[in-house]
Amino acid sequence: MQGLIDRLSALLSDGTVARVLGWKKGDMPYNPEPHMFETAESLKDFVYDGFCGANLSKMMIEASKLEGKTAVCLKPCDSYSFNQLIREHRVDRENAYIIGVGCRGKLDIDKARANGIKGIEEVSGTELDGPDSVSFKTIYGDKEMSYSDLLLGRCHVCKGKEHMIYDELWGESKDTADSERFDEVKALEAMSPAERFEFFKKELSKCIRCNACRNVCPACSCRKCAFDNNNFDSQQKANVDSFEEKMFHIIRAFHVAGRCTDCGECSRVCPEGIPLHLFNRKFIKDIDELYGEFQAGKDPEAQSPLTDYTFEDCEPGIVAERSNG
Amino acid sequence: MCNCGSHDSLVPQIGIITGITQETPDVKTFKVNAPDGGKLFEHMPGQCAMVCIPGVSEGMFSITSSPTNKEYQEFSIKKCGILTEQLHSLQVGDEVTVRGPYGNNFPVETEFKGKNLLFIAGGIGLAPLRSVINYCLDNRENYGRIDILYGSRSADDLVKLQEIQDVWMKAPNVNVYLTIDREQEGWDGHVGFVPTYLKEIGFSTDCIGIVCGPPIMIKFVLQGLKEMGFTDEQIYTTLELRMKCGIGKCGRCNIGSKFVCKDGPVFRFDQIDELPNEY
Amino acid sequence: MYKISLDNINSLFAAIAESKELFLPVKKAGQANYANWTEDCEVALDSLKTVKSPKDAFFPQFETLYKVNRKIIPTDASEEEGSETLVETKLRTKLEITPTELKDKDFVVFGMKSCDVKGIEALDKVFLTDPVDNFYKARREHGIIVALACHEPEESCFCTVFGVDPADPSKAKADVATWIVDGELYWKAISEKGEELTKSVASLLSDAADDAADAEISNITNIMTKLPNTKLSLEGWGEGKTDEKFNSEVWNELYKPCLGCGTCTFVCPTCQCYDIKDYSTKDGIQRYRCWDSCMYSDFTLMAGGQNRTSQVQRFRQRFMHKLVYFPDRYGMYSCVGCGRCVDKCPQSLNVVKVIKAFENEKKEAGANV
């Protein structure tokens, strides 16, 4: 990590960039926060470890409006989001200096908690070149978990160790995929409609309407969200267990379809642990099947299946055919 | 304190519109009564109420009639948004819901008593002050000289002009100064912005200043009054922020630890100075 | 002091639920939240912190305040000054308001932690201050709180900073205090309501000595001293600190990662901001109240553009409200140190980091002198 700090510090000192968007050490061993570093001196608080899961791409929308370049640390999967934002003209490529940081998967502290780990004082083994197991020093005794058991759900279907866009790279990456990307979707498709409805009803009934999923989502970059319209004659702010509540997530999934890179931030931030990525991933699978394989954010120049028309496109009747099949 | 129905301060009463006056092209004054006649509640000058068209929206409006009016309450409402547009489409006999009265009031029974009063209003800003002016006129013996400086964009935008001419101008020891922003055919009165006219007239500081109008007018009137020697302690105004509950609980309209809906809307300028700069 | 074996706890729940609604931590789709007890629910008394606080029991996230029926009726023609061309002007809108019934049955909130009970004290300050919120008041009158000691508190806990005792719920403003030790639930009534509840389930309880609970109290008290955030200092916060804190530069740095979502406000036991809205249904218009968040961009927005239009202003508002404005107004902090925001903020911002940032600023300022 010191190598990275030194490099960022040099970029600041030689005037290549005016600021660095990275992560700042938290007050606990597992809660670093996204942070804008303006001086080389302030980089003493910079951190990059297994808990730096936050995707910084979206913060570049605001950062690219600032004077001078911003160096931003992007993990391989974050680089897809950044590319997609370039395509949507939401970030300015010229104002970004992208450090493609290595990644061996990011960690989910809730996985440790679910494993009974609490009263955490120290955590070690989370650095990029760290060991395969993570050690926890807690007031209730020392615990250990394997790095892979602590991974965020999204890392088990890692899109690969390649950065889609960068100015320079730092650190080794590892493809952490150990299950098929569409397995969870296939399991949903295998359910009867009633089972599937029950599944989503149960999950979505936990929604507290905090909007964290929307606000963190790099594809949700509208200046004013339709759901923030106070003149809606709907219960959009209430968490009533009704059709309206579910519509929020379904409408959002439709809105980001074809643009969602499957970065998994929605599921990472949900305070109720709702697997929101499943909606988006179902769309991705359908798009792949109907229009040919497509990965949003892979190539900012590529045609997007839902906004470009070709003679080969399927007819709307496909919906009926598929639901009968 | 709150005499707004028994069930809860959040459950309104039904009010029936018993009269509508088109004051200006975009201001109407609505008379409101309880469905079986009589007033909805008793209030003090400066207090507000939440008026609502169910299914549309609810908004806080100052009660423009004086408490000395024993028959009804009045609201002068300017058309400037979805709710006010819908209110303007209502007719005599239609019902709305009303909650209140909310907030504090001008200290007509304490600090104002026995004093000379200088009212300075711009446009629809007359609405809250009209309640105070009529209260003072109906208890004329309790107050000294009353000066009223009222301005608007044009002669057509002067709210309650009839009442100003027929009642206020004829009342004892009351001076009314009217002004409009731009020259207009048929207007032989003063032309110019309120703050400028204020300085031209040059009121003495032996009175209490009560200011209400658009923020920009308030800003320059305040400057003018200070140049004339007024202190913050002798100037009052009303503040307005987004409100939902009206009772200091929903958390919207606070400035620092004060809620405009409950601790306001009436503030003395020295009190405003103490608040964090967030309004 | 009484006790009941955890093996038998379901019969206790069933006995309470026979005559009262029972609200307690229930696990659903992997997360523990307060919910109504049913025979087949997965009770999660061992969850230290539910995702949402139990404030829903007294101040639900969503409630209908009243219904309005709107009737368009023709008015008596004699009232009109007779033009027949304006037929539509003779239609008038008449309203009928049906308020929602206030809570009139007793209910039990089981397993509340001392911090969450303290959170209700903060809500009381707001809702029971004149003019009283009768919807809330009715729930407070009918709610019976069974508080539970915090077995094995976690690193995000810092309730002791706000004078909460997580070890001894009998010090909280609850009705019954309980402890879970070695498979037994120890039970002590601490109010009249608590005594009555105890009587109603007495056949399931057996007498117990105080030692087990006493040992648990000293055990928890000891653990609390080891937790990092319990050493937090509130010096410089509280009544009368508006100018000093409001104008600090610290906010301008601190707020930056804030997403402007409502997670912190919705998991918080003391946040009480709400919205009031109308919802048209086929049986009339529902006036409802729901939680709102001062973090949301439309919270204070007016047609004229005022006020708190930037996220830094909204971020500052939330913490100033908890740590300065609320103490100014009600004489207590509006934070109880439950640590939910510490656990749940998507960007790892929280009240602890805010307090620490100001501490650091003070230290740095001191070092520069």
Contact A235 C288 (CB under 8 A): yes
For chain C, say whether B244 makes contact (Cβ under 8 Å). Answer: yes
Of A222, A272, A228, whose CA–CA distance to C296 is shortest?
Answer: A228
Please report whether residue A106 resides in a domain: yes
Question: How far does the CA of residue A245 sit from the closest CA of chain B (Å)?
Answer: 20
Chains touching chain A at 3 or more Cβ pairs under 8 angstroms?
B, C
Q: B1 pLDDT exceeds 50?
A: no
Chains touching chain C at 3 or more Cβ pairs under 8 angstroms?
A, B
C293, exposed or middle or buried, with CB in 10 Å at 0-12, 13-18, 19+? buried
Integer CA distances (angstroms), A14 to A19, A44, A100, B268, in order:
12, 18, 20, 54
Q: How far apart are CA A325 and CA B5, in angstroms?
A: 61
Q: What is the dihedral of CA C360, C362, C367, C369, to 10 degrees?
A: 160
Which residues, including other chains, have CB under 8 Å from residue C81's CB and lie 6 or more apart?
A: none
Integer CA distances (angstroms), B111 to A176, B108, C39, C317, in order:
74, 7, 65, 33
Structural domain range at position A45 = 2-111+152-170
For chain A, say whether C62 makes contact (Cβ under 8 Å). Answer: yes
Same-domain status, A67 and A9: yes
Q: Count of CB contacts below 8 A, A vs C?
A: 136
Same-domain status, A165 and A236: no
Q: How far apart are CA C263 and CA A234, in angstroms?
A: 21
Residue type at position C355: I
Question: How far does the CA of residue C106 sit from the closest CA of chain B (Å)?
Answer: 20
Contact B82 A233 (CB under 8 A): no
Please report whether residue A78 resides in a domain: yes
**Residue of A35, A119, A239 lying closest to C257 (CB–CB):** A35
For chain A, say whether B56 makes contact (Cβ under 8 Å). Answer: no
Residue in chain C closest to B100 (alpha carbons) equals C131
Q: Where are the domains of chain B?
A: 13-102, 116-238
Q: In this structure, which topology does domain B116-238 adopt according to CATH? A: Rossmann fold (3.40.50)
Report field, pTM of the whole predicted structure over 0.95: no
Q: B4 pLDDT exceeds 60?
A: no
Question: How far does the CA of residue C237 sit from the closest CA of chain B (Å)?
Answer: 14
Residue in chain A closest to B55 (alpha carbons) equals A233
For chain A, say whether B251 makes contact (Cβ under 8 Å). Answer: no
pLDDT score for A325: 52
Over residues C262-284, mean pLDDT: 91
Integer CA distances (angstroms), A205 to A197, C32, C214, C286, in order:
12, 13, 40, 21
Q: How far apart are CA B260 and CA C308, in angstroms?
A: 14
Question: How far does the CA of residue B8 sit from the closest CA of chain C (Å)?
Answer: 6
Q: B41 pLDDT exceeds 80?
A: yes
Residue in chain B closest to C240 (alpha carbons) equals B257
Q: Where are the domains of chain C?
A: 2-63+102-231, 242-368
C319: which 2 tokens? 């913490």
Which residues, including other chains, have CB under 8 Å from residue A186's CB and lie 6 or more apart?
A: none
Please report whether residue A253 resides in a domain: yes
Residue in chain A closest to B83 (alpha carbons) equals A231
Give tens-digit pLDDT for C292-319: 999 888 777 776 666 788 889 999 999 9
Q: How far is CA A212 from the centre of its chain?
A: 12
Segment 31-60 of chain A within 8 Å of chain C by CB: 31-36, 54, 59
Which residues, including other chains, have CB under 8 Å from residue A290's CB and lie 6 or more apart?
A: A305, A314, A318
CA pseudo-torsion sign C242, B2, B98, B44: negative
Q: C18 pLDDT exceeds 50?
A: yes
Give tens-digit pLDDT for C22-68: 999 999 999 999 999 999 999 999 999 999 999 999 999 999 999 99
Contact C133 B244 (CB under 8 A): no
pLDDT score for B240: 83
Q: How far is CA C246 from the centre of its chain?
A: 25
Mean pLDDT score of chain C:
91
Contact C279 A233 (CB under 8 A): yes
Give tens-digit pLDDT for A159-197: 999 999 999 999 999 999 999 999 999 999 999 999 999
- Give percent above pLDDT 90 in chain B: 80
Residue in chain C closest to B55 (alpha carbons) equals C278
Residue in chain A closest to C260 (alpha carbons) equals A215
**With bands split at pLDDT 50, 70 and 90, how would you rate the model's confidence at C364?**
confident
**With bands split at pLDDT 50, 70 and 90, how would you rate the model's confidence at C84?**
very low
Q: Using H for helix, E for strand and C for coil, what is the string for A240-282? A: CCCHHHHHHHHHHHHHHCCCCCCCCHHHHHCCCCCCCHHHHHH
For chain A, say whether C349 makes contact (Cβ under 8 Å). Answer: yes
Segment 88-147 of chain B within 8 Å of chain A by CB: none
Q: How far apart are CA C143 and CA C137, in angstroms?
A: 10
Count other Cβ atoms within 10 Å, centred on residue A232. Answer: 14
Residues of B in contact with A237 (CB under 8 A): none
Residue in chain C closest to A38 (alpha carbons) equals C253
Query: Domain boundary at A170, A200, A220, which?
Result: A170
Q: A235 pLDDT exceeds 70?
A: no
**Location of structure tokens 């010191």:** A2
Which residues, including other chains, have CB under 8 Å from residue B226's CB and lie 6 or more apart?
A: none
Residues of A in contact with B82 (CB under 8 A): 231
Same-domain status, A50 and A85: yes
**With bands split at pLDDT 50, 70 and 90, how would you rate the model's confidence at C86?**
very low
Residue in chain A closest to C295 (alpha carbons) equals A210
For chain B, say whether A231 makes contact (Cβ under 8 Å). Answer: yes
Q: B57 pLDDT exceeds 80?
A: yes
SS3 B78: strand
Strands (E), C157-266: 176-181, 184-189, 206-207
Same-domain status, A269 and A162: no
**With bands split at pLDDT 50, 70 and 90, how would you rate the model's confidence at C4?**
very high
Contact C94 B95 (CB under 8 A): yes
SS3 A52: coil
**Residue of B95, B245, B278 lying closest to C307 (CB–CB):** B278
The region of weakest confidence among A252-266, B234-248, C84-98 is C84-98
For chain A, say whether C27 makes contact (Cβ under 8 Å). Answer: no
Residues of C in contact with B9 (CB under 8 A): 131-134
**Counted domains in chain A:** 2
C216: which 2 tokens? 């648990």
What 8-state DSSP symbol labels residue A42? G
Give tens-digit pLDDT for A269-301: 999 999 999 999 999 999 999 999 999 999 988
Residues of C in contact with A271 (CB under 8 A): 51, 263, 266-267, 344, 346
| Sheet with B27-33: strands ordered across | B57-62, B48-53, B95-102, B13-24, B27-33, B73-78
Chains touching chain B at 3 or more Cβ pairs under 8 angstroms?
A, C
For chain C, say whether A302 makes contact (Cβ under 8 Å). Answer: no
Is C137 within 8 Å of B249 (Cβ atoms)?
Answer: no
Q: B104 pLDDT exceeds 70?
A: yes
Give tens-digit pLDDT for B132-142: 999 999 999 99
Length of chain C counted residue by residue: 369
User: C279 pairs with which residues across the strands?
Assistant: C286
Same-domain status, A165 and A226: no
Contact B82 A231 (CB under 8 A): yes
Segment 116-135 of chain A within 8 Å of chain C by CB: 118-121
For chain C, say whether B185 makes contact (Cβ under 8 Å). Answer: no
Q: In this structure, which topology does domain B13-102 adopt according to CATH? A: Elongation Factor Tu (Ef-tu); domain 3 (2.40.30)
How much is the CA Rg of chain A, to the nearest whole Å? 21
Over residues C331-341, mean pLDDT: 97
For chain C, say whether A8 makes contact (Cβ under 8 Å). Answer: no
Residues of B in contact with C278 (CB under 8 A): 54-58
Q: How far apart are CA C324 and CA C333, in angstroms?
A: 7
Q: Count of CB contacts below 8 A, A vs B?
A: 3
Q: For residue A139, which phi and psi values (nearest 5 degrees)?
A: -70, -10
**Residue of B9, B14, B254 lying closest to C97 (CB–CB):** B14
* Interface with chain C: mutation pick from A49, A59, A272, highest number of C CBs within 10 Å: A272
For chain C, say whether B245 makes contact (Cβ under 8 Å). Answer: yes
Residues of A in contact with B57 (CB under 8 A): 231
DSSP letters for A130-171: --SEEEEEETTEEEEEETGGGB-GGGGG---S--SS-SEEES
